[in-house]
Structure formats: structure tokens, C-alpha cells
Structure 1
Amino acid sequence: MQQQASVEKFSDLIGDIYDCVITPGRWTAVLDEICAEFGFATGALSVASLTNMKAVVNAVSGSDLTLMARNAIAYGPDIIELWGGAARIQQYPLGEPIVQSQAVGQDVISSNRYYREWALPKGLFDAVAVGLVRDKAMVGNAIFSQHESAGPIDDGQIGGLRLLAPHIRRAVTISNLFDMKAVEAATFAATVEALAVGVVLADGDSNIVHSNAAATAMLDAGDPILAQDGRIAVQSTATTTALQSAVAQAAQDEATLGQKGIGIPIPRTSGDPLVIHVLPLRRSPMRSGLIQRATAALFVASASGPPRLPHDALVQLYDLTPAEIRIFELICEGQTRDAISAMLGVSISTVKSHLIHVFEKTGCRRQVDLVRLAKSLTFPV
């Protein structure tokens, strides 16, 4: 009940996050909202495309963007060190808030050049980072700093960011497909039609309302998407169920959609990996006026790599959070709870809590059962 109340509390903020897909210039205002809601002193959102080396999103709150960019250049290695180094950062689960003071020792923080010369003089004594995307196509994260006057970063702040993270991840991923162009309601159809990726607009029952040229070609070929009695579907029954469930949830209450509908892996006869991203449309006047009857836009895009197994299946079948999935993976690799705690920069009790949730959601009772489950998920759902 407490989590549901939190979702409802942040529903307007989540709606504002999705509006940023249509108007990327609103990201700064969204960061302002997040900082005000949770008491952070500064916030920065940075997502860059590695294919054309352009920023997909670059926004800050509570600081000057030019100055932040300068710091990123001047203190780049120091900032990476402040989060445990490049190799350690790669281990952090996407979408899971990582508190700096818990991830690295105080001796590392105190001796860090960026911390001593920039953060500490401004009273910024701690920070929390959320990895948003990390693949061969894009890299991005959000970082929020805590002022010493606000006290230690607490569970309320972490829980709030954990709820918002999948919505931010979905928004920045789809923003990249639009190449950062603001989309006006009057020209939305034309913009969608011109996209190289397939776009299907659907109602709450997954009935196809409209498809652009790329998606129409896919539907005509029945590869990788198809129409079943007018409803969007794919060859895999399990994936179709997951997809239609995400569309229904987007129509009913986008705030509770979570990470469902982000990068749903779908097979193609050629073997090329594709994914579907589900963008809710109904709640916001800005998005609801785009196409009548449509409650969700489904983007069929190239995947940044082959399906991650069993990662993608765990998301769609068991609704595991990013942190739960990462711990699942590490347990299956033979890592101990102590090792996982040190690797991810979280307490032993946090690891145990996540593991309990993994057991509950998957129906497994022992760690050996998790290993068997991972081996059974041979193909993407």
C-alpha cells in the first residue's frame, strides 16, 4: 500500500517525464521538480548517442550547464573514480539508485580532487546516481547531489528515484528515436510516418489504430510484428502477452507501468535483434491529443545488441527490478552475498532483501533453483 501511494503521489511527475519525449526542452523543468520533491540540491541528466556522438538529453537543475560541461572535461577521471572506477560502474544495475557514500569508502571521497575542489566547497557532501542506458548505442545517467544542510540521503529519496527511474529510462530511449526533435501535436502523424523505425499506435486493448510505413511493411510480412484479429502481436505467445499487458497498463495507469514495455525483445526470421518500446499517450493533454483513440505508441527498433539472457526474460516474466535482476545474475555466477555487497556498493541487508524478493517473484526456494531457472530461459520470451 505504501508503494502504491507513492506511485500515485508521483503520477503527475511521471506524466511530465513522458511529455519530455515530445518536447525535450522540458527536461530541465522535470529535474527541477525532482530536486524540489526529494530535497536534492542539484540534478543532472546526460544521455549521449554513441553512433553520432550527439547529446540525446543534456539538462541540469540547480547549476549552470556550461559550468557542468566544463567540469566534466576538467574532472572527468576524478568523477569516474568517485563512483568506484569504470569497471565498478559497469557492474551497477541500470535503473537502481547508487549512493556514492555507500558505494565507495570515505577515504576515496575525501581525497578525490573533484570532491575537494568543486563539491565540498559548495556543501555538496554526497550524491546518488541512476544509470539509464549503457550499451553500444547510448550511454547516460542521472546524478543528484545532496547538500550538507539536508542531512544524509534517506530511504524516501532512494525509493522515489527507484520509482521514477524506469519512466526516465523509457523516455530518454524513445527520445533518441526522434533524434531530439520536438514533436508538435499537429505534425505528430507526419513525424511518426517519417521515422525509419516502425511505429504502431494502439488502443487499450492493443487494437491497431495506425501504423507508419515501416511498421506497415512489418505487419504485411508478419515479421517481426503481426496483427491477430486487429491486435498487435508477435510470433512468441509469451512475448505477445507481455506486450499487450504493457499496453493495457499504459492505458490504465502509466505511473504503475514501471519497467514493463522497455526494450521487449522480439525475434525476427533474419536473426536481427529488435525490441519494442511502449510509450503511454493518454494521461497528458500534450500526448493524448496526438492521435484519437490511441493510448500507446509502440516503437519497433533495432536492439543495441543480442537479447540479454536471462535478463530480458526475467523482466517480462517475473517483473524483477534492475537490482533484483543483477543480484539474480551474480548469484547464478557463483558470487557470495558478501561479494555482491562489495561489488554493488550496497549493504548485506539490502542484498538479502532483494534476494528475498527474487525468490518470492520467481517461486524459487533455493539459490540452486535460481541457477536452474536461468538455464531454462534459453530463448527470449
Structure 2
Amino acid sequence: MQQKQVVMRSPLSMERLSELIGLIYDAAIDPSRWSVAIEEMRIALGFATAAIRLQALPSGEVLVNVTSNIPQPYVDQMNSYGAEVLELWGGMAVVGSLPMDRPAVLSQLNPDLDTTTNRYFVECGKPQGMIDSLALPLARDGRGLGSLAFSRHVGAAPINDLQIEAAQLLIPHLQRAATINRLLDMAAIARATFQTVLDTLTAPIFLTTADLQVVHANPAAHAIVAGGELLNIRNGVLVANVSAVSSALAVAVAQAARDEGALARKGLGVPVRWQDDSAGALHVLPLRPGRGSFDASVVAAVFVARADTPFVAPTALVAALFGLTPAEARVFEQIAVGRTVEETSEVLNIGRSTVRTHLLRLFEKTGARRQAELVQLAASLAAPLAGLA
């Protein structure tokens, strides 16, 4: 059976990318919009079908389960093929080792796949004419498991680098949306608008302007402020008790106001630690005017989450905080894990003098005076993430 499909012949334009990201964030706060979001992504990337699934762990509650262009009889059968789908991708060990920042292509991951014996492929994939898949990771940790998969029709060209690269641009935004979905009471959101349900949520949420002026805070957020151990509102502005956290939060919210498409480069969340030594993150969700019944000045929702995976590397935070160039960030990342100038030179395939030049700029921008202090800087930002992956 031929499925309708649009073949992508050029990279996503910035306008199209921004549109898709906007749809993803719409779905983050209104799960009914996932059907529109994955349909548009499927068409833009040139695939025949799409399916997104997100489960909360350890409860196993299914938070999101939406498909695009898959006939209903097959949709009804899909949940019964869990083991067979896992087998297609090489088993749990293989799936668990896949990177969280890149798409996975079935034909590349399992080139010797025998499709004649796999029950899912025989009963569900082959009858629809599906021959290959590309999967994007949404969550894979102790609190959630999820992915978005696109399938290629047998009559279409093989999955190419252009599709993979375009899909990779969407991963950080999909992961942020999945994180927000896990924080929200999805059943309540499904019954009401985002704004009306804000005050009933247990997750602390602040709605802010581009300069972190708080327009609205739900009761849980006010409780955080009243406790005084993590966040405060001073002269109407949201600030953190740790200056580095405040700086990182300001960078993320300002970026959300300017260009939500670039927000991923600032990290998916700012790591924080409570006084009881429990870890968590501040997640920034861009909110452009017209999405929901928000005040026009509101550009972001800041969610406070305990013990969640923010999917952000300390290098990204340091680069955002201190304005590092991409080359400086790459050198910082190597130095931060304890590599010497010589080792960094070999790993990055650049001259030692170039590494030293970048180091001098890193010292100037961060205020560090030696490599050990750069390591300490990275450790101070990475510490809240320990044990959360």
C-alpha cells in the first residue's frame, strides 16, 4: 500500500525550521498538538509515516502516543510489538548505548537485519511498504523513555545525510518538550488550557519576560521563593542564589526571546542543587506571543525540576556564560576532562600553539588563571548532573 510522502530535496529553511520548533513547543504544553507537530515534521523531512511515544518511569504511564499517516488497524496493533521492535534495532543493549544527540538509522545500525522472521516487520511494516526507519531519542533515563520514529517507504530513495542532519536539528527541542511533558499533569493539560492549569501543577513554574521580570508564578513557584534556598524574586526579577545559575538562566531566557531555534545551543536546562544536596534543573521553554492566552510580554516559562535529566553538557553552559567561540569551547571541553595541551592538540588535530592561544583566551574570558581552575569550573557546573543520566 502506497503511503503519501513528500521527498525533501533541500535543507530545511530557517523559516521552516522555526515553524517546526514552534509546533514542538506548542505540543510541550498542549499534548493534543503532537499530531500536528509530527505530521509537519514527517512531511518536511520526507518520510512516509511517523510515530512518537513517551512513557514515564517507573510507573510505565504512557504520556504521549501519537502517529502520523499510519492506518488505524496498524496503530491498534503497534503496542503489542514491543519486543519485536526492540529486536529490529539490535536489542536493549544496543538501544541503550545509542547517543542521545544523533538520529539512529535502522539500516545502518542493523545492516544484516532479517526482516523475514521479525513479527513486527512481517505483520505491520511490510504490509504498509515500510523498509527503513530513522529514530530520534526523546528520553532514556530513570524517569522516562521515549522516541520519535520516521519510516521510509519501499518506493522512496534511501535515507540520506540531508534527512539525518535536518532531523538532528530537532532533537534538542524534542527532548526539551519531552522533559516538560514529564513535569506536567498531562491529564489536566488535556482538559484545560495551559494557563488555567498552571496554578494546580505541583511543578514550580515562572512565566517571565526577556529580562526575567516575573509576570506570573504558580503557588509551587511561590513556595520555592518563600523557602529562599534556590530562587528569589528581587524587584520583580527572577534570580538564583548562585550567581552562575542566574547568569546561565538569563542567557537561556534572553535567547528564547530572540531566537528559540538557537536555544538548544545554550543547553536544555540549567543544573541546580538544593540545600538537601538533591539535584535538578531549571528548564526554559520559549513562549512566543500567540501561543496560548499569555501576556504579550511573556517570552519563556521556567520550570523547576528535581532529579531530572536536563540533557545539557557543562561545556555548553560555560560557552554561553562566557561567550566562547566554537573553537574555544572545543578546547575547554578537552581541558575540562583533564587533558594536557599536547593531548588536546592530538585529539582536536590542531597545533599546540593554537591550543595555547585558545587557552589564553579561555583564561581571559573565564577569569581562570591556570588549567586546574578550568577543570574546577567545569566540575562546579557538572556536579548537579552526576548520577542523573
TM-score (norm 1): 0.77
1:158 corresponds to 2:195: no
1:380 partner SS: helix
Q: How does 1:134-213 map to 2 (within 5 A)?
A: 134-181=140-187, 183=189, 188-213=194-219
1:380 offset after TM fit, Å?
Answer: 2.5
1:301 is matched with which residue? 305
For 1:83 and 1:259, locate their aligned partners in 2 and report how far apart those are by CA, in whole Å: 29
1:19 is matched with which residue? 26
Amino acid at match of 1:67: Y
1:125 corresponds to 2:126: no
Distance 1:316 1:41, change over 3 A: same
1:39 corresponds to 2:43: no
2:315 is matched with which residue? 314
* Structure 2 gap segments, 5+ residues each: 1-9, 340-346, 360-370, 383-389
1:367 is matched with which residue? none
Q: Is the 8 A contact 1:280 1:297 kept in 2?
A: yes
For 1:134 and 1:233, locate their aligned partners in 2 and report how far apart those are by CA, in whole Å: 31
Amino acid at match of 1:108: L
2:381 is matched with which residue? 380
- If asked which structure has higher relative contact order (CA below 8 Å, sep 6+), I would say 1
Q: Is the 8 A contact 1:203 1:296 kept in 2?
A: yes
Distance 1:58 1:251, change over 3 A: same
Q: Find the partner of 2:226 among 205, 220, 224.
A: 220
1:26 partner SS: helix
1:277 partner SS: strand
1:73 is matched with which residue? 80
1:377 offset after TM fit, Å?
Answer: 2.8
Distance 1:188 1:100, change over 3 A: closer
Taking only aligned residues, the RMSD between alpha carbons, in angstroms, comes to: 3.8
1:107 partner SS: coil
1:52 offset after TM fit, Å?
Answer: 3.5
Amino acid at match of 1:124: M
1:120 offset after TM fit, Å?
Answer: 3.3
For this pair of structures, how many residues does the alignment match?
343
1:57 corresponds to 2:58: no
Distance 1:182 1:333, change over 3 A: farther
Distance 1:102 1:355, change over 3 A: farther
Distance 1:140 1:222, change over 3 A: same
For 2:36 and 2:169, locate their aligned partners in 1 and report how far apart those are by CA, in whole Å: 18
1:274 corresponds to 2:274: no
Distance 1:109 1:222, change over 3 A: farther
2:253 is matched with which residue? 247
1:291 corresponds to 2:292: no
Q: Find the partner of 2:113 among 97, 100, 108.
A: 108
Moved more, 175-184 or 248-257: 175-184
Give 1 or 2 for the bigger CA radius of gyration: 2
1:28 offset after TM fit, Å?
Answer: 1.4
TM-score (norm 2): 0.76
2:276 partner SS: coil
1:43 partner SS: strand
1:261 offset after TM fit, Å?
Answer: 5.0
1:122 offset after TM fit, Å?
Answer: 2.9
Q: Is the 8 A contact 1:7 1:256 kept in 2?
A: no
Q: Is the 8 A contact 1:98 1:128 kept in 2?
A: yes
Q: Is the 8 A contact 2:231 2:239 kept in 1?
A: yes
Amino acid at match of 1:140: G
1:168 offset after TM fit, Å?
Answer: 1.6
Q: Deviations over 1:161-206 (max 9, x none)?
A: 1111221221222122222246499964442111111111110011
Q: Is the 8 A contact 1:167 1:259 kept in 2?
A: no
Q: Find the partner of 1:6 among 13, 21, 24.
A: 13
Q: Deviations over 1:20-50 (max 9, x none)?
A: 1332112112211111111101100000112
1:222 offset after TM fit, Å?
Answer: 2.4
Distance 1:71 1:16, change over 3 A: closer
For 2:315 and 2:254, locate their aligned partners in 1 and report how far apart those are by CA, in whole Å: 20
Q: Deviations over 1:287-345 (max 9, x none)?
A: 3x32342211101012237x88xx64133224799xx99xx89xx799xxxxxxxxxxx
